[in-house]
Structure 1
């Protein structure tokens, strides 16, 4: 059983980052925090630590449940941390990429001008805030 692991190695081992170098760079850039303060790549993780990890536009809040020194497959990696990101943040992130999928029946041909206007209106209304109505 591993007793202490560097944060960059841990984040790489649980597959939050593709390479250890990317995990190290994230620490240096201040995208990995503990209790709101940036932590260095050499910080040693302990079981029970709660970490805030920003990756691109996604923000995760994870709790360390077990230490892991070497990279393992995804099914085993999930057992070594708990994702405690609030549901609202997860929904907000996923909804940014949500776009209505418009399907037309096969063989109906190209949309008419009227169809095109209806499609455009549907898409415009999708991106409007509730306050804009």
Structure 2
């Protein structure tokens, strides 16, 4: 067992492989995407065993309960033992609203395309 009682939140999230690099973990803390026990965490904030760490990744929150403190990056099998994942499962694909996606660089929609988009969104214009 590790003799370390605490670790920096950016170091811990990197060590348990929530972020690919330590600088990405620090940037996420600076941007407010990391919370410890419900409060926004600065990168040097210590984490203890039993703390809840929420990390916003790709628009969804991952909720972890710290079960072991590590400060050096560990293998994936060891990293899985360092936290308890309480993240709710993602919603089924059928429930996720499908938004029409325009190709990048396609410019503004034409009047006809705009009407089609409004119709898809359920906001069809009423005729006068």
**Per the shorter chain, which TM-score range?**
0.5 to 0.7
Structure with the bigger percentage of helix: 1
Given the two structures, how large is their TM-score scaled by the length of structure 2?
Answer: 0.68
Q: Tell me which of 93, 96, 118 is aligned to 1:95.
A: 93
Specify the alignment match of 1:75 in structure 2. Answer: 77
User: What is the distance in 2 between the residues matched to 1:9 and 1:95?
Assistant: 34
Matched position secondary structure for 1:95? coil
Q: Which ranges of structure 2 fall in alignment gaps of 5 or more residues?
A: 97-120, 122-128
CA RMSD of aligned residues (A): 2.3
Matched position secondary structure for 1:91? coil
The aligned length equals 96
Deviations 1:40-68 (A, max 9, x none): 00001100001111012231010000101
Given the two structures, how large is their TM-score scaled by the length of structure 1?
Answer: 0.65
Specify the alignment match of 2:18 in structure 1. Answer: 16
Deviations 1:52-111 (A, max 9, x none): 11012231010000101110110110000010112xxx232x638x9xxxxxxxxxxxxx
